Amino acid sequence: MRYITSGESHGRALTAIVLGMPAGVPISQTDIDNDLARRQSGYGRGGRMKIESDRGLLLSGVRFGRTIGSPVTVTIANKDWENWTDVMASSGKDAGRARITAPRPGHADLSGMLKTRSTDARDILERASARETAARVAAGAIAKSLLGEFGVRVRSWVFSIGDVAVPLVGDPAAVDFDAAESSDVSCPDEVTAEAMRRAIDAARDAGESLGGTFFVVADGLVPGLGTYAEAGGRLDARFSSAVVSIPAIKGVEFGDGFAAAARPGSLVHDEIVLDPQRGYSRRTNRAGGIEGGMSNGEPIVIRAAMKPIPTLMTPLQTVDTDTGQPVEASTERSDVCAVPAAAVVAEAEVAMVLADAYLDAFGGNNLEDILAALDAYRTRVRP
């Protein structure tokens, strides 16, 4: 199971096509739109989010509320396109309207121009824009619909924005996710959340942007998803690739992650116990639910780091690609902080990897057969 997306930031629409979706899975328009709304919300978002009100229009693959085994297509209209029809026209001649020749440090602008021989950074930034992630979120909502049939949930929360962080004590998978979802910075601790808002306000006043870190947690999983036998099929490798594919994500860790490198093995590895109700389980979850490239039945815990957004209202220095002279980098309408939005996108990526892993393990033709295979597997792995 996989997805592809198309569309530009100021184009007519974004589109996601989900391939490999089995037949018989209930799909809720409300669930898709709720995740799209979550991606748009959050303290520190820019003016674009005041224009758009994303809704996913299902175009194919769903009939009477259930998938039919063919590709599922969702499109999301860009309301702002009406203001860009001359700049983003798909036909006619380029009159040089809104041409950008001052590539931004930290963005795809310059490398993309060199790669494609373009003389206008807009050719690159329109697709490299994080606006594209709305389509990913729509695809991920469809993957979540499938995972929900297996009893799997994928959720997220923000751990830090700038240098403001939650005083983490205990299990990142045991936070109050309802509190995180109701927070405009996706933080379950209100004292920290208020400090995050103040940091965002200060960055806005200074013409700066802020990054941060967030957790994605998936629970309700069976053990054995992924593989130890083939490098590309290892579950943590697939998660890493998927999450780092999100614009501005610069690092990923599982469980204790980098902190484990400074500890002895006895304080890193999770002891195995046999529980009459759960079967095999772990006393702790320092591994973040993954051992040997496979799920071990504990919650998957992923932490990702997002760099600050490269569009700054107090621009950095760059070089004009027409003249070769030093200039200030171009500015586009942008966010001050989009860490909560990135967490929602990461949920979608994690959900897509997990949905594909379940279909690899239990078949992919129709939901009824998959559930039968899954029930048989659960019976076998539980002593």
pLDDT at 95: 65
pLDDT tens digit sequence for 183-213: 999 999 999 999 999 999 999 999 999 999 9
Percent of the chain with pLDDT over 90: 84
Domain extent at residue 368? 2-381
Mean pLDDT of 153-181: 93
Mean pLDDT of 133-161: 98
What value, to the nearest 5°, has the Cα angle with vertex 8 and ends 7 and 9? 130
* Residue 362 and residue 146 in contact, taking contact as beta carbons nearer than 8 Å: no
CATH code at 83? 3.60.150.10
pLDDT tens digit sequence for 263-301: 999 999 999 999 888 889 999 999 999 999 999 999 999
**Most distant pair of Cα atoms in the chain: their distance:** 72
Domain count, the chain: 1
Mean pLDDT of 111-120: 96
Mean pLDDT of 353-362: 98
- Summary mean pLDDT of the chain: 93
pLDDT at 96: 63
pLDDT at 331: 80
Which residues does 338 contact at the CB level (< 8 Å), separation at least 6?
A: 42, 44, 45, 130, 248, 306, 309
Sign of the Cα torsion 191, 193, 198, 199 reads: positive
Confidence bin at 379 (pLDDT 50/70/90): very high
Distance between CA atoms of 185 and 250, rounded to whole angstroms?
20
pLDDT score of 155 more than 80: yes
pLDDT at 92: 79
* Residue 207 and residue 301 in contact, taking contact as beta carbons nearer than 8 Å: no
Tokens 């490269």 correspond to: 310
Helix (H, G, I), strand (E, B) or coil at 359: helix
